Structure 1
Amino acid sequence: MSKLKITVFEHNTLRIGDVLSKDKVFEEKHLALLEAFYGTNGLPYYSLIHKGVKFNQYVGVLQLGNLTIEVLPKVDNNEEDEKTWRKLLIEMIWRVGTFTTHAPTSSNLSLKTNAILDVYIAMYLQELKRLVHQGLIKKYRTQEGNTLALKGSLVFSKHIQQNLVHQERFYTRHSVYDEQHLLHQVLYKALKLLKRINVNIALDSEINQLLFSFPEMEDIKVSESTFDKISINRKTASYETALGIAKLLLLNYHPDIRGGSSDVLALLFDMNALWERFVFVTLRKHLKNSHEVREQVKKDFWLSHTETNRSVKMFADIVITEKREESRVFVIDTKWKNLNGKPYPSVEDLRQMYVYHHFYKANKVALVYPSLESKEHKGKYLNSQNDDMCYLIHLGVKDDIANFEKQVVNVVKEWFTVSNSEIHIN
């Protein structure tokens, strides 16, 4: 099968016969790959429809054999700019993830395609090259085997078994100080994976060069528990970025045990969760001196008197508290969706914010949406003794991540300070 790269936006559909470019068409064999990965239990990334698929709110990259699908975010129903959104998505993922130790921004990587997967691969290679250049750390490990000199402790039973006629050898258990340890085994396994999944010819030589210069490691099975065994400390802090990317790649890779023709790599992120995390990380970073910013703040909501006093809890996305004596409280709930021109949100969202207002004793509450331009709307809860308001804040998406962060902070700061009677956002 020839290589095919497709770029779509979230909630878009792909059907057999859709023209992707002047010489590329979405065919039955491409749909068959997506159907096989979907399986009988389904996936959250997309849904199967008649002769095609409909993508959900997950964004990122999905590689199935020689088919690569990039799914980009979408704010409005208008045609979106692929290049701008690809760059912004990569930067947002980087801002909220663990990739902050040594890695430069993706804009510093010279990639012609600038595809999402290519950026991850290039960043990983860049990190490994830096680690090799500075010198890989060594650790002590225990090794058993035959040696020509007696060192460590003699394993007597195995020595008698293996060296009865080789009196010049000793079977010992001894300590070795070298690079052969779990941290490097994981990084090496991820490097070998890149050799298998990379489709960018420009990156091939770098992968081969690193495979030559990186010490060959024992092949290990990797799972979530593997990464739990690795602790990042002062000595290994420089490995954090590389380890984070290796974890992302290895845990989201699904090999085709039948022959490798349909290996799957799914680097897809729930845009609702990514949007919430991005707003939270941005506000926490820029308001840390004046406000306490917390996420997923839990409150008891309902208590059962029959089910052994079981309680039902609620979770507010973001709770912001001023750092002063008479501190005000602000509750934000993020929504990655557009209102399709409506001046009001769903009844369910308004009820949710009304409850937050009272249970969190909030001075203000707001629903926060992405938009092509910044704007606001507010409404009053009727029959409320305190004239409670719910604000709808639309944050204008910027093509530069630094400007977007500044926009988020400035709009929220203005919301803090204005009275309920009037609010204005530029």
Structure 2
Amino acid sequence: MSLNKMANSKNPIRVFEHECLCVHKGEDKLLPEQLKSFQIFYGEKGVPYYKLIHNGIQFNEYVGVIKVGDLTVEVLPKADKSEDKALWQKTLINMLKTVGVFNIHAPTSSTLQLKSNSILDLYFELFINEIEYLIHSGLIKKYRKVERNALALKGAINFGKHIQKNLVHQERFYVRQTVYDLDHKIHQLLYKTIRLIRTINTNSILTSRLGALELNFPEVSDCNVSESFFTNFQYTRKTEPYKNALEIAHLLLFNYHPDVSSGNTDLLALMFDMNLLWEQYVYVSLRKELRNGYTISPQSRKKFWKPDNGYNSTMIPDIVINKDKENCIVLDTKWKNLNGKNPNPEDLRQLYVYKKYFSATKVALVYPGEMFSINGGKYYTEKSNEVSNDQCSVITLSIDHDSKNSIVQIAPLIQDFIEKVLRDQRLLQHNQVAFYN
């Protein structure tokens, strides 16, 4: 084994979004067989996480973790000049926790070690903690129907199969029974996930814990994994504690691609669109921190064009505060660093339409940046080359580098922005009343 491969098997390679990994250049290099696995996984239709370049790959705006064989690659977000990858890993973990990807139900999950070697280890450890909590609380049993040969007559005899199978062994009975045990679809999926993690885990600390977990599912059958089960499953009072474990199981089972290179290498991709993650992060942070008296709505739809034939077209701003009220504010999030430049004209036109259709007092674009700032700007009037009173602000939010968890301070800044909007609106109304009086 080469030194490069040995390093890959122990520690993850960390890159920023839009960076490249190549076979023959760069500090972190791909092995030819690893590149081949990426190429096969990419296929003819492609994947959104990266694109193929000469002797390498270039990552897109997706962040998260990809594991190919022994190689783990963490793709991190980046919104300022800081090259501190540990800082950006903490930032990504914090954002994922904020939006609920790393939800924690089990009390034992408070010991989750954020110093794990990789983000993938966090998923594994959180799943293990959840299963240990469920075992400690007591695994639920369910009724199920079975057909089997038994030494005692308990249940209804299946005469056809009884004659077929027990013509010689007349001491046996082929019966239909209803049993009450742990072997049901929930435990089958959790056990399948435990075995999957054991297959791809390289963290020695977790290996013994995984082995102990397997001992608690000795009689659980194998099962087929179907999307319909996770989509249609209805949680009850008894099954609600399983929610986090099943969500992680769903994530792992449906993002695992075995044998992508003709049986030689498996691939697991847990990747998130950074634009959607940023949007959700801003929304959840505002929802938690905004004071009473504000309503906040994500993805509010409004029709704006009806064709003669076919479906209506709708506009969907990211966040609407105080929808259908006089002090309505529309925010649109963009994961890009302006670096002192003006916003994209297309983004400004988009916000102009939002302002009109939602009758918003103020609209704003929300970007990540190197420092907190709110810059104002006004649109020109439609009929003359004069500046109107319609404003579109540009809000930049920076990483708190002094924070232990490396967080983005959102609520206080936007809170000040909202209150400024309300003060301006009250002042405008006061001046209008004074003018007419």
Residues 389 and 420 in structure 1, CA contact (< 8 A), matched pair in contact too: no
For each residue in 1:334-355, what CA deviation from the matched residue of structure 2 results, as whole angstroms up to 9, or x when unmatched?
Answer: 000011221x201000000000
Q: Does 1:8 align with 2:40?
A: no
Q: Does 1:394 align with 2:396?
A: yes
Which amino acid letter does the alignment assign opposite residue 349 of structure 1? D
**1:11 deviation in Å?**
0.9
Which amino acid letter does the alignment assign opposite residue 346 of structure 1? N
Q: Percent identity?
A: 47
Change (3 A) 1:104 1:376: farther
Stretches of structure 1 lacking an aligned partner (at least 5 in a row): none
Partners of 1:416 and 1:75 in 2: how far apart? 24
1:54 corresponding residue in structure 2: 58
Partners of 2:51 and 2:108 in 1: how far apart? 33
**1:216 deviation in Å?**
4.1
1:224 corresponding residue in structure 2: 227
2:319 corresponding residue in structure 1: 318
Change (3 A) 1:292 1:419: closer
What SS is found at the alignment partner of 2:374? strand
Change (3 A) 1:29 1:148: closer
1:188 corresponding residue in structure 2: 191
Which amino acid letter does the alignment assign opposite residue 333 of structure 1? D
5 Å-filtered alignment, 1:336-347, equals 336-342=335-341, 344-347=342-345
Which amino acid letter does the alignment assign opposite residue 366 of structure 1? A
Which amino acid letter does the alignment assign opposite residue 319 of structure 2? I
1:368 corresponding residue in structure 2: 366
Q: Does 1:71 align with 2:71?
A: no
Partners of 2:220 and 2:236 in 1: how far apart? 22
**1:361 deviation in Å?**
1.1
For each residue in 1:196-219, what CA deviation from the matched residue of structure 2 results, as whole angstroms up to 9, or x when unmatched?
Answer: 111122221111221223334211
Deviates more, 1:250-259 or 1:41-50: 250-259
1:354 corresponding residue in structure 2: 352
What SS is found at the alignment partner of 2:52? strand
2:275 corresponding residue in structure 1: 272
**Runs of 4+ with >6 A deviation:** 104-107
2:247 corresponding residue in structure 1: 244
Residues 380 and 388 in structure 2, CA contact (< 8 A), matched pair in contact too: no
Q: Which has the higher strand share?
A: 1
Change (3 A) 1:18 1:269: same
Residues 113 and 122 in structure 2, CA contact (< 8 A), matched pair in contact too: no
TM-score using structure 1 length: 0.89
1:205 corresponding residue in structure 2: 208
Residues 63 and 265 in structure 1, CA contact (< 8 A), matched pair in contact too: yes
1:298 corresponding residue in structure 2: 301
Residues 19 and 26 in structure 1, CA contact (< 8 A), matched pair in contact too: no
Which amino acid letter does the alignment assign opposite residue 317 of structure 1? D
2:130 corresponding residue in structure 1: 127
Which amino acid letter does the alignment assign opposite residue 321 of structure 1? N
1:418 corresponding residue in structure 2: 420
What SS is found at the alignment partner of 2:94? helix
Change (3 A) 1:238 1:364: same
Residues 99 and 240 in structure 1, CA contact (< 8 A), matched pair in contact too: no
**1:289 deviation in Å?**
3.6
What SS is found at the alignment partner of 2:229? helix
For each residue in 1:355-379, what CA deviation from the matched residue of structure 2 results, as whole angstroms up to 9, or x when unmatched?
Answer: 0001111111110011232111110
Residues 91 and 401 in structure 1, CA contact (< 8 A), matched pair in contact too: no
Which amino acid letter does the alignment assign opposite residue 8 of structure 1? V
What SS is found at the alignment partner of 1:388? strand
Residues 72 and 85 in structure 1, CA contact (< 8 A), matched pair in contact too: yes
Deviates more, 1:351-360 or 1:85-94: 85-94
What RMSD over aligned residues (CA atoms) do the two structures have, in Å? 2.6
What SS is found at the alignment partner of 1:235? coil
1:44 corresponding residue in structure 2: 48
Which amino acid letter does the alignment assign opposite residue 333 of structure 2? T
TM-score using structure 2 length: 0.87
Q: How many residues align?
A: 413
For each residue in 1:88-118, what CA deviation from the matched residue of structure 2 results, as whole angstroms up to 9, or x when unmatched?
Answer: 2122112213543415798843365441001
Change (3 A) 1:106 1:301: farther
**1:160 deviation in Å?**
2.6
Stretches of structure 2 lacking an aligned partner (at least 5 in a row): 425-437
Change (3 A) 1:164 1:50: closer
**1:278 deviation in Å?**
0.9
What SS is found at the alignment partner of 1:351? helix
Change (3 A) 1:354 1:134: same
What SS is found at the alignment partner of 2:238? coil
